[in-house]
Amino acid sequence: MFELVVYISLVCVSISMLGLIYRVIKGPSIPDRVVALDAIGINLVAIIALISIALKTNAFLEIILLIGILAFIGTVAFAKYLEKGVIIEHERDR
Amino acid sequence: MNAIVSFVTGSFLIIGAFLSLVTAFGLLRLPDVYTRNHAASKAATLGVMSILLGTFLYFFLEEGHFNSRIILGIAFIFMTSPVAGHLISRAAYNSGIPLWEKSVQDDLKKAKEERKAEQ
């Protein structure tokens, strides 16, 4: 029964990722795509947690934290690029 | 497996999966960037936190393995996901993405025009 619940959750998260990928491809503006990519990263965390339950192993649990950090850094870099045109500013450019 | 543990863990997982489906439908059906960002940054955060809580409870109660990385992951996602949503929404507004044509109020418009007039 519990296995079935885990697999149903995996299917739901996968369907949700398909919808997000549709938004990444079609999204009319660039911030749309960045929002969808951020949500994809968050969903990937959920998929890894569910798969590590399904495989009954705790070897993948470090990856959860790693993907969370990487998704945040990527989104912040993209937001700064969209707003200012550069990601890392030089002091002398001001 | 203990039936109560199974029920509690499974209900956390199901709630999280449902919230992540809600995120996808919000991103597909809402009209502009800001409303989509609203859906993505709230529902996805709560859904993933719920799934991670279910995972933590599963490993703790079933295998006796206290995994502190999942708790760190929950805390990190809870702190950073709304911040990322705010940053990308602000970048969208400042780069001139229009609001939905039926939205009635734009409080930031005046401040933006004043800033443009100063420069």
The pLDDT value given to residue B104: 79
Residues of chain B with pLDDT under 70: 1
C-alpha to C-alpha distance for B58 and A60, rounded to whole angstroms: 14
- In this prediction the pTM is 0.88
Q: Convert the pLDDT of each residue in A41-91 to its tens digit.
A: 999 999 999 999 999 888 888 899 999 999 999 999 999 998 888 888 887
User: B52 vs A45: CB contact, 8 Å cut-off?
Assistant: yes
Contact A45, A68 (CB under 8 A): yes
Average pLDDT over residues A14-32: 90
Residue type, B106: D
Share of chain A above pLDDT 70, in %: 98
Chain A from 47 to 66: CB within 8 A of any B CB? 49-50, 52-53, 56, 58, 61-62, 64-65
Chain A residue closest to B38 (CA)? A35
C-alpha to C-alpha distance for B48 and A44, rounded to whole angstroms: 9
User: B73 vs A38: CB contact, 8 Å cut-off?
Assistant: no
Q: Does ipTM top 0.90?
A: no
C-alpha to C-alpha distance for B119 and B116, rounded to whole angstroms: 5
